Amino acid sequence: MENAAASIQAWLSMYGLKVIGGILIFIIGRIVAKVLRHILLTALRKAKTEESLVSFAGHLCYTAMMVFVILAALSQIGFRTTSMVAVIGAAGLAVGLALQGSLSNFAAGVLIIIFKPFRVGDFVEASGVIGTIEEIQIFTTQLVTPDNKTVIVPNSLMTGGNITNYSVKGTRRVDLTIGVGYGDDIKKVKEVLADIMAKDERVLAEPEPSVAVCELGDSSVNFAVRPWVKVEDYWAVYFGITEAAKLRFDEEGISIPFPQRDVHLFQENAG
């Protein structure tokens, strides 16, 4: 027991202060890294830098500083960091193969920042997800769906397929199909639908909204109603015009037919 106690005491006297120093370096370094990241983010936002670049730069800067802090802490404890760097370099190929998915996500994140297919705040459809871009990180992109779900998608998947950006142009066309009965006056229907769009202040005058007969269906004459709106007004106008059309049709005596079939019975004389 005395020998063991003496060995522990000797080890603590030799390495105890180094371990404590390494822990302090890690804790203080982490705090400093967070402070520097905050300063960087504040400076970029004051310079009115694009938010997607601000987020990406913040994550990248913090990660790089933490790598430096960890190496400094290990060096204080007694690890030979130069040897560790050499080992890491020698194992780089194996690590690269093992982390090729993460590396591809990082590369895709860099491409997103450079080419800007979307930005923070844009409403997009990509990788089978529809939502608003909330944050672009080093390896992933975070979206919020219209029903307020958070979806985190790897960057490589975001850039690996088609990207539909609904926000980049600033305006969208609302595509509505409204059917009326074959017995209704189609000129009157067009006038009513045009009047509904003209009275909606959210509908843009340019490009000009349009109303046209698009199909002679099985049970109805279908009209293509195409108003242009600001991106943020899309769903409000979509639902608003649909409701307004039903109310005006009731007032004007215009019918919205149910699906129907004409059945013809033929009676054959038996013998």
267: confidence class by pLDDT, cuts 50, 70, 90: confident
- Ordered domains of the chain (ranges, CATH): 2-89 (1.10.287.1260), 117-165 (2.30.30.60), 171-252 (3.30.70.100)
DSSP state of 175: -
115: confidence class by pLDDT, cuts 50, 70, 90: confident
- Return the closest-CA partner of residue 148 out of 131, 166, 160: 131
268: confidence class by pLDDT, cuts 50, 70, 90: confident
For 210, list phi and psi in degrees, rounded to 5. -135, 150
213 or 218, greater pLDDT: 213
For 110, list phi and psi in degrees, rounded to 5. -65, -40
Q: For residue range 83-108, list pLDDT tens digits in order.
A: 555 555 655 555 555 556 677 888 88
Q: Indicate the pairing of strand 163-165 with strand 171-173.
A: unpaired
Q: What is the pLDDT of residue 88?
A: 58
Q: For residue range 16-45, list pLDDT tens digits in order.
A: 667 777 788 888 888 888 888 888 888 877
The answer to whether the pTM exceeds 0.75 is no
